[in-house]
Amino acid sequence: MSKPKPKLVDLKLTEFETYKTPEEFYAPFANQPYSALLTGKGMDDNSRYSFIGINPFYIHISNDDPFADINELLDYYSVKKYGYPLNLWSSIGFISYDSAHFVEELPKTTVDSYSPPKAAVVFYKDFIVFDHQDKKNYLIQALLEGDLLTDHREIFETKNKKYSFSADKNIKCMTKEEYCKNVERIIDYIKKGDVYEVSLSHQCTTMFKGEPYAIFQKLYGINSSPFSAYLAFGDYSVICNSPERFLFAKGDKVETRPIKGTSPRGKTPKEDDENRIELLTSEKDSAELAMIVDLLRNDLGKVSEFGSVAVKDHRRIEAFNNVWHLISIIESRLKKGVKYGDLLKACFPGGSITGCPKIRSMEIIDELEKDTRHLYTGTIFVANDARFDSNIVIRTIVAHKNNLYFNVGGAVVYDSIPEKEYEETMFKAGSIFASL
């Protein structure tokens, strides 16, 4: 890493009151380059905090191996000497799915539609934390060498800003026939013994005019998923509505929460409950989840203390605005000396969006998917050297110039029915279609 990094001298804490939600508070800053919002609503154990980063002072963009860079950056801007809540001050960034090429030798034959960077890590002078459990809000300011720290009163005095957009209703996706042929090809691979499961997706595109943050506001209003995010990173705006945690670490304690198994919400309470029960009793979805739990236990085992990897909760059902999901929680304790970049590399990309076994599944993904995934099924994270949290980037739109790109997909197994697999991709993306 050759770019000089400003030296962090100290962190200053200001507690403040607000009647605004995180997404309302962030709105005046949504056009600020490299600003970020991470927020969401969900279960008590995964939605405690929302984060806003504004006024970036160090931006690291990478098209090379990002995992060692993350280790170096988090060590350089260490928060371990600080107590709570100052030790929540963090970087915000992303790693694209294509960074898997720095983990394994993989083919690359897909079409590159819009060429975003492979990874980015951003550190902020002004980092805002909303603690939804304790009902407290914090502004954490970074004092850099040579800086005069101001009170940044304008952060609290900015007025609400209204955003708008219009999107072309003609959203182009892979045809049902083409997607079904790809599902059939995967089933052939499964019958031959190549794989047990492959997570297949296809890309959708359309045009838009206006401000990308208006799309986030609309999408988040429809479905406030627990791992939602908005990144105004350079020429790319990331509008993320993810329900899935990838990796969470606090000190040496780690967890991952794969999602496998999806059912639409019902139009009536009776239909809704029937869909929930059908998902809970589905042998197909249970088998999908069990395979990925086993894969992730293996991934965590590479960097965890022997005997510490355990399934805490298996086949928990969670409700979202448009779908039911089956979720498992796997925990472990990191070996001494293992850093968060090492943890990421050991588990990347998440098994829930590749398949099993992982490497062969990714080879088949490259063969069958026409377009490069880019950030889709990568990860967005908030991280320092004491705490790390990240999502799986699904249900996500990338805005670039006047174009919108998003992928939809699902897991294919032996008894998958091609037409139903295609339909599943469509109802998973229901909130995105509704927002556009």
pLDDT digits (tens, 9 = 90+) for 419-431: 999 999 998 899 9
| Three-class SS state of 291 | helix
Helices 340-347 and 66-76, axial angle in degrees (round to 10): 160
Closest by CA to 384, choosing from 71, 51, 138, 46, is 71
Distance CA 38, CA 92 (A): 9
Position 400 confidence tier, pLDDT thresholds 50, 70, 90 = very high
Return the sign of the alpha-carbon dihedral for residues 181, 182, 186, 188: positive
Q: What is the mean pLDDT of residues 255-274?
A: 89
Looking up tokens 């236990």 gives 297
pLDDT of residue 64: 86
pLDDT exceeds 50 at position 1: no
Buried b (16+ CB within 10 A) or exposed e, 240-271: bbbbbbbbbbeeeebbbbbbbbbbbbeeeeee
Is residue 305 within 8 Å of 332, Cβ to Cβ? Answer: yes
Strand ranges in 211-309 using DSSP code E only, listed in sequence order? 227-233, 236-242, 245-250, 253-256, 259-264
| Three-class SS state of 281 | coil
Closest by CA to 186, choosing from 395, 405, 416, 1, is 416
Backbone dihedral angles phi then psi of residue 24, each to the nearest 5 degrees: -75, -40
Q: What is the mean pLDDT of residues 12-25?
A: 93
* Range of 98-112, 139-153, 199-213 with top mean pLDDT: 199-213
For residue 185 the two structure tokens come to: 């090809």
For residue 211 the two structure tokens come to: 């401000």
Distance CA 29, CA 34 (A): 10
Position 357 confidence tier, pLDDT thresholds 50, 70, 90 = very high
Q: What is the mean pLDDT of residues 342-359?
A: 95
Q: What is the mean pLDDT of residues 402-413?
A: 95
pLDDT exceeds 80 at position 47: yes
Position 348 confidence tier, pLDDT thresholds 50, 70, 90 = very high
Q: What is the mean pLDDT of residues 253-258?
A: 96
For residue 43, give every residue at least 6 positions away whose Cβ sits within 8 Å of its Cβ, in sequence order, or none: 226, 318
Position 217 confidence tier, pLDDT thresholds 50, 70, 90 = very high
Distance CA 54, CA 124 (A): 6
Number of residues that make up the chain:
436
Distance CA 416, CA 96 (A): 28
pLDDT exceeds 50 at position 155: yes
pLDDT exceeds 50 at position 27: yes
Domains of the chain: 8-435 (3.60.120.10)
> Residues 239, 101, 295, CA angle at the centre, nearest 5°?
80
Share of the chain above pLDDT 70, in %: 98
Closest by CA to 290, choosing from 314, 265, 320, is 314
Is residue 256 within 8 Å of 246, Cβ to Cβ? Answer: yes
Q: What is the mean pLDDT of residues 367-378?
A: 96
For residue 7 the two structure tokens come to: 């030296």
pLDDT of residue 255: 97
For residue 170, give every residue at least 6 positions away whose Cβ sits within 8 Å of its Cβ, in sequence order, or none: 206
Is residue 59 within 8 Å of 144, Cβ to Cβ? Answer: no
Lowest mean pLDDT among 59-63, 276-280, 338-342: 276-280
Share of the chain above pLDDT 90, in %: 81
pLDDT exceeds 70 at position 149: no
Position 26 confidence tier, pLDDT thresholds 50, 70, 90 = very high
Q: Which amino acid is at 131?
A: D
pLDDT exceeds 60 at position 136: yes
| Three-class SS state of 246 | strand
Distance CA 49, CA 129 (A): 7
β-pairing, 355-356 vs 387-391, is: unpaired
Is residue 197 within 8 Å of 404, Cβ to Cβ? Answer: no
pLDDT exceeds 70 at position 417: yes
Position 151 confidence tier, pLDDT thresholds 50, 70, 90 = low
pLDDT exceeds 70 at position 148: no
Q: What is the mean pLDDT of residues 368-376?
A: 96
Is residue 335 within 8 Å of 305, Cβ to Cβ? Answer: yes
pLDDT of residue 150: 60
- For 269-326, the pLDDT digits (tens) are 999 898 889 888 888 888 888 889 999 999 999 999 999 999 998 888 888 877 888 8
Distance CA 410, CA 140 (A): 39
CA distances from 385 to 249, 299, 361 (A): 10, 21, 32
For residue 124, the 8-state DSSP code is E
Task: Quote the pTM value.
Answer: 0.94
Give me the chain's average pLDDT, please.
93
pLDDT of residue 341: 97
pLDDT exceeds 80 at position 384: yes
